[in-house]
Structure 1
Amino acid sequence: MAERFYLYDDIEQTRTRFVSFVGDNTRFDLALIQSDRHFGKTLVLDMQGSRFAIIGDDDLKEEGYLEFAFQLSEDDAEELRSFLSEFI
């Protein structure tokens, strides 16, 4: 086997928040991970849907971003957007 070529291999301190809440139509089980790695953005993991996205204020304002990233309906994405805007 050829020698492994790493692009990076870093260890960082992170702040992780696990939160679960129920919206009008769906339940959200999230892990929100903050570190210096992504320029102040938060790594949002949807643990039930097995999806994730790196999200900042600009992403929350982008039309259709949460719907696409988490495969949500417009209403469910708005509930997630409302929650994340309080945290991010």
Structure 2
Amino acid sequence: MAERPFLEDFTQETSTRFVCFTAGSHRFELALMKADHFNNQTMVINLHKNRQALLDHETISKDGHLEHLFQLSAIEAEELRNYLPDLL
């Protein structure tokens, strides 16, 4: 089998937190992963929608950002936006 070149290949310790909550009429199941590689951002993984994004306090407040990244309605995104500051 031929060698396959990688642009990067390294291992790093991470911290992962799993949270599940309901906000309004919506249920969210998230994994929040922190690592030095993410430069003070948190990898937020929406386990129900199989979508992920690197987020911080600044990016969660941008209009339309959560809606686009996680394919959420405006109401769902606002409910998530209310929880994320405490989780990050």
Name the TM-score class by shorter chain.
over 0.9
Could you tell me which residue of structure 2 aligns to residue 46 of structure 1?
46
Per the alignment, in what secondary structure is the counterpart of residue 75 of structure 1? helix
Matched AA of 2:8: Y
Q: Which moved more, 1:41-50 or 1:55-64?
A: 55-64
Could you tell me which residue of structure 2 aligns to residue 71 of structure 1?
71
TM-score computed with the length of structure 2 as normaliser: 0.92
State how many pairs are aligned: 88
Q: How far did 1:3 drift?
A: 2.7
Could you tell me which residue of structure 1 aligns to residue 83 of structure 2?
83
Per the alignment, in what secondary structure is the counterpart of residue 37 of structure 1? helix
Superposed structure 1 runs of 4+ greater than 6 Å apart = none
Unaligned runs of 5+ in 1: none
Matched AA of 2:16: T
Q: Residues 3-52 of structure 1, C-alpha deviation per residue, up to 9 Å, x if partnerless?
A: 31111111111111000001112110100000111111000011111111
The percent of aligned pairs where both chains have the same amino acid is 40
Could you tell me which residue of structure 2 aligns to residue 56 of structure 1?
56
Could you tell me which residue of structure 1 aligns to residue 13 of structure 2?
13
Unaligned runs of 5+ in 2: none
Q: How far did 1:63 drift?
A: 0.9
User: How much is the aligned-residue C-alpha RMSD, in angstroms?
Assistant: 1.2
TM-score computed with the length of structure 1 as normaliser: 0.92
Could you tell me which residue of structure 2 aligns to residue 27 of structure 1?
27
